[in-house]
Structure 1
Amino acid sequence: MESKLAQFASLSQKDKAPAYLSLLPEILSRSNPSAIATDLHSLVDTVVNQDSVGLVVGRQVLSELVKSLGGGIIKDNELRKRIVEDTLATVQPRITSYEEQVNSLRFQLADLLEEDEEWSEAARVLMGISLDSGQRTMPDEDKLRVYVRIVRLLLEDEDSVQAESYYNRAALLVHSTSDKETLLQFKLCQARISDYARKFLEAAMRYHELSWVAEIDEEERRHMLSAAVTCAVLAPAGPNRSRVLASLYRDERSAELPTYNILSKMFLDHILRSAEVKDFEGTLKPHQLAIIAISSNDRLASAIPDATAANEPNTSTRTGPSTVLDRAVMEHNLLASSNIYNNITFRGLGALLDLTPGAAETMARKMIEQGRLRGSIDQVDKLIWFQARDEDDAQGKAGGLGDVEQVTEDTGAPFTKRWDMQIRTTAANVESIVQHLTEKNLVKFASAAA
């Protein structure tokens, strides 16, 4: 090979291109992988880095090599990867002169790395592609595809920080395409970025939206529906989450999911037990089990000793939730308890949530401040008073289950409204049963004495 290259160096400029190009088929047809790699390195180094060859000839030879590699002439992926990496390293000193060929090689290398599930390495190769240069500017639609692919690869290795950076670049170009596949990939990246950033409510809505797209495979849609349920469960308790939970609960496909039990309990405001939470915890990804930090102020407030609870041997010593799931379950149980009790002591709420009385008060206070819980706190009597929720906050209009108009008498006593409604409903049910029995002649009423 060295002798042929030295011989071609003395040819005229117009004869050099055909001469060097004739070597490519000869090299690629050899049976010895080491010989192929070695000879291709010598050829590329000669045409690229020897000034006597010329830029035009170098581009022709390199373009033909890129075309041959892309056409699958080399079946061994490991050999092909080795050749591509070696060619990129050889061309690196003069990369500005061969941008188009280098970009094509990087796309090929990224494909090979992705096949081997080397996600981060494939992403880094794509990051090195020159998308804007003086010689050739890539269209915005193609840039968008590259950015979305980088985001997808980084998320496979759970590198959400760098993925978000490239997602922001893609968001600026998303208007430039109408290609359905690219838009769907962008929306999926959007949902996953929200998931990793712990914006669970936003992620749940996006996952649920994607689960209805007919172009996506059925198994993938089921996976997205499951991800939507998981994110909805982890979202902060409150009216907004109730809307999302209702939408998922009404979805007939949710009943087939293994997480349906916890979804239904959260939607119906039932208190969750530790065994149920433990089963659900096994389905979560590492970032969804991240440990959360408690602020110093909350830690101090939660650690204030309670004189009445000091004598209780089973009083919890926990000063706050430790994980995202832990916090979601505690906030849900607190919200569920507001449907059961008119009021509850700090110590009683702490026993329910497995927290110190001070930590239970802190959690309730924060939820009231954020408008996610209706109530008030009496620190003198150490009581939390709950206010009856409007229909908008429960399973009616907020949950998307339709408008239910109920005419209730204004008694002037808000804490007895629910009790009055229960009595009214029970009396109506009894009357209906008696009427049904009377029609069947199963009940006879004695006539009144004159």
Structure 2
Amino acid sequence: MEAKFAEFSTLSQKDKGPAFISLIPQILSQPDDAVARDLHTLVDTVVNQESVGLVVGRQVLSELVRVLSEGTIKGSDLRKRVVEETLAIVQPRIVSYEEQVNSLRFQLADLLEEEEDWSGTARVLMGISLDSGQRSFSDTDKLKINVRIVRLLLEEEDSVQADTYYKRAALLVHSTQDKETILAFKLCQARISDYSRKFLEAASRYHELSYVGEIDEEERRQMLLVAVTCAVLAPAGPNRSRVLASLFRDERTAELPTYNILSKMFLDHILRPAEIKEFERTLKPHQLAKIAISSNDRLASASHDDGPSSSNEPAASTRTGPATVLDRAVMEHNLLASSKIYNNISFRGLGALLDLTPGAAETMARKMIEQGRLKGHIDQVEKLIWFEINKDEDDAQGKAGGLGDVEEAEDTGSPFTKRWDAQIRQTAAHVESIAQQLTQKGLISLIPATA
């Protein structure tokens, strides 16, 4: 075969291309080791020998790329070896063979993705030049490549680098009408919010995607499950109440393993340690990330002390703050739930409820009041937290769940469901009113039911 390479190198320029191309089928008909060796020699000859020339090199390399893309080489290991060796040879002259190199990179990315080498696939795709060279990529193609890189990086939980490529994709998403690409982008958007601990935003986006009919049913169920998880981890407050209400009203959530904790959070029930441990097993590593306590909060948590406890008061905890994202979400929820039960509570009592020092409990309540997520005020002289009842219930969950006054209903983001519930409630209220008026006028009488 080497003799033929030397012979063909001496041909005229117009004959060199067809001559070298005719060798490709002959090489591929040999055993695997000979195929890899001879293709390596062929590429090295047409790319690096000055006598061959750039035009012939492009012709031969383009034909080899076409043959590889058609799956002529059946073994994935051999095909991967040939592609990698070809890229290594062409790399020093990548400017001259950019289109062929990009095609080879796409093939190598597909092979690596089949092996679930997510980071390796992402690195190969990152090496593709999208903005310059012989081939101009459309905005839709650029978007697909960036979205694919984001997805691969998120598989490796590299959310920092994934965010960089997500921002590039966000600049291009409005330039395409391709539904599959847009859905892939929205899924990346939800996952980026999840990894960035923007759990409220992630829950809304996952829930929205769980309604998309083009997505497989099992995947939609998984998205609904993740939406519930993110809603539970979100900061307690009115915004989370609305998301919880929307999820609780979704009939599909009743079949999820996390429905118990969802219902308890929606109904403002205090969560118990056993329930939290069960839910914790379903979380991913980034959802169990440790959180740092600032030096100011640590100082404030340690400095407040109720003094010696009386016989009817619980002993103070030694914890100065939540340790994980889940820990913080549960503490904030229990604090919000306690505001529905008590008119006021002491720092020490709240600390016992949340398993925090009295100072840490006061610090958490202060932050939630400052951020508008808790209605109340703090009496530091008496060491009491007073909870305020919101008469308008603008941030309550009851109305969103179908309770409360008939005249008003909270916007949960499901207009048709809300309208249906309001009509049922209004109809029932009107029937009850008419029945009462007829009874008062003696036109009808209530007959007790008999067994």
- Under a length normalisation based on structure 2, what TM-score does the superposition of the two structures give? 0.89
Report 1:209-288 matches (<5 A): 209-288=208-287
Report 1:370-381 matches (<5 A): 370-381=371-382
Number of the residue aligned with 2:349: 348
Number of the residue aligned with 1:11: 11
Number of the residue aligned with 1:334: 335
Please tell me whether the aligned partners of residues 109 and 125 of structure 2 are also in contact (alpha carbons under 8 angstroms): yes
Return the letter of the residue paired with 2:64.
L
What is the deviation of 1:341? Answer: 0.2
Question: Does structure 1 residue 322 correspond to structure 2 residue 330?
Answer: no
Return the letter of the residue paired with 1:384.
I
Question: Does structure 1 residue 182 correspond to structure 2 residue 181?
Answer: yes
* Distance in 1 of aligned mates of 2:236 and 2:54: 65
Please tell me whether the aligned partners of residues 396 and 404 of structure 1 are also in contact (alpha carbons under 8 angstroms): no
Please tell me whether the aligned partners of residues 350 and 359 of structure 1 are also in contact (alpha carbons under 8 angstroms): yes
Number of the residue aligned with 2:362: 361
Please tell me whether the aligned partners of residues 243 and 400 of structure 1 are also in contact (alpha carbons under 8 angstroms): no
1:252-294 per-residue CA deviation (whole Å, 9 max, x = no partner) reads 0000000000000000000000000000000000000000001
Return the letter of the residue paired with 2:377.
S
1:56-113 per-residue CA deviation (whole Å, 9 max, x = no partner) reads 1111110111111110111110111111000000001110111111000000000000
Q: 1:77 to 1:333 in 2, by over 3 A?
A: same
What is the deviation of 1:134? Answer: 4.2
Return the letter of the residue paired with 2:16.
K
Return the letter of the residue paired with 1:159.
D
Please tell me whether the aligned partners of residues 199 and 233 of structure 2 are also in contact (alpha carbons under 8 angstroms): yes
Q: 1:441 to 1:151 in 2, by over 3 A?
A: closer
* Residue number among 392, 395, 402 corresponding to 2:394 in the alignment: 392
Please tell me whether the aligned partners of residues 233 and 329 of structure 2 are also in contact (alpha carbons under 8 angstroms): yes
- Tell me how large the CA RMSD over aligned residues is: 2.1
* Distance in 2 of aligned mates of 1:73 and 1:402: 69
What is the deviation of 1:405? Answer: 3.6
Please tell me whether the aligned partners of residues 392 and 398 of structure 1 are also in contact (alpha carbons under 8 angstroms): no
What is the deviation of 1:135? Answer: 2.6
What is the deviation of 1:133? Answer: 1.3
SS of the residue corresponding to residue 364 of structure 2 reads helix
Return the letter of the residue paired with 2:21.
L
Report 1:19-58 matches (<5 A): 19-30=19-30, 32-58=31-57
Return the letter of the residue paired with 2:448.
K
Number of the residue aligned with 1:404: 406
Q: 1:402 to 1:376 in 2, by over 3 A?
A: closer
SS of the residue corresponding to residue 147 of structure 1 reads helix
SS of the residue corresponding to residue 18 of structure 2 reads helix
SS of the residue corresponding to residue 367 of structure 2 reads helix
What is the deviation of 1:404? Answer: 3.0
Number of the residue aligned with 2:423: none
Please tell me whether the aligned partners of residues 391 and 398 of structure 1 are also in contact (alpha carbons under 8 angstroms): no
Return the letter of the residue paired with 1:439.
I
Report 1:428-443 matches (<5 A): 439-440=447-448
What is the deviation of 1:440? Answer: 2.8
Please tell me whether the aligned partners of residues 141 and 177 of structure 1 are also in contact (alpha carbons under 8 angstroms): yes
Q: 1:23 to 1:309 in 2, by over 3 A?
A: farther
Task: Tell me whether 395-404 or 223-232 shows the greater mean CA deviation.
Answer: 395-404
Return the letter of the residue paired with 1:349.
L
Task: Tell me whether 253-262 or 59-68 shows the greater mean CA deviation.
Answer: 59-68
* Distance in 1 of aligned mates of 2:403 and 2:242: 9
Report 1:134-213 matches (<5 A): 134-213=133-212
1:116-174 per-residue CA deviation (whole Å, 9 max, x = no partner) reads 00001000000000111143321111100000000001001100000000000000000
Return the letter of the residue paired with 2:108.
L
Number of the residue aligned with 1:304: 303
SS of the residue corresponding to residue 123 of structure 2 reads helix
1:276-314 per-residue CA deviation (whole Å, 9 max, x = no partner) reads 000000000000000000111000000115243467784
Please tell me whether the aligned partners of residues 314 and 352 of structure 2 are also in contact (alpha carbons under 8 angstroms): no
- Under a length normalisation based on structure 1, what TM-score does the superposition of the two structures give? 0.89
* Distance in 2 of aligned mates of 1:401 and 1:218: 31
What is the deviation of 1:398? Answer: 5.8
Identity of aligned residues (%): 79
Number of the residue aligned with 2:128: 129
Return the letter of the residue paired with 2:354.
L
SS of the residue corresponding to residue 381 of structure 2 reads coil
Please tell me whether the aligned partners of residues 368 and 374 of structure 2 are also in contact (alpha carbons under 8 angstroms): yes
Please tell me whether the aligned partners of residues 27 and 35 of structure 2 are also in contact (alpha carbons under 8 angstroms): yes
Please tell me whether the aligned partners of residues 244 and 399 of structure 1 are also in contact (alpha carbons under 8 angstroms): no
Number of the residue aligned with 1:424: none
Please tell me whether the aligned partners of residues 344 and 385 of structure 1 are also in contact (alpha carbons under 8 angstroms): yes
> Which runs of no fewer than 5 residues in structure 2 stay unpaired?
409-431
Number of the residue aligned with 1:414: none
What is the deviation of 1:33? Answer: 1.3
* Distance in 1 of aligned mates of 2:137 and 2:401: 46
Return the letter of the residue paired with 1:66.
V
* Distance in 2 of aligned mates of 1:153 and 1:378: 52
SS of the residue corresponding to residue 391 of structure 1 reads coil
SS of the residue corresponding to residue 229 of structure 2 reads helix
Return the letter of the residue paired with 2:68.
L
Number of the residue aligned with 1:68: 67
* Distance in 1 of aligned mates of 2:8 and 2:261: 74
Number of the residue aligned with 2:415: none
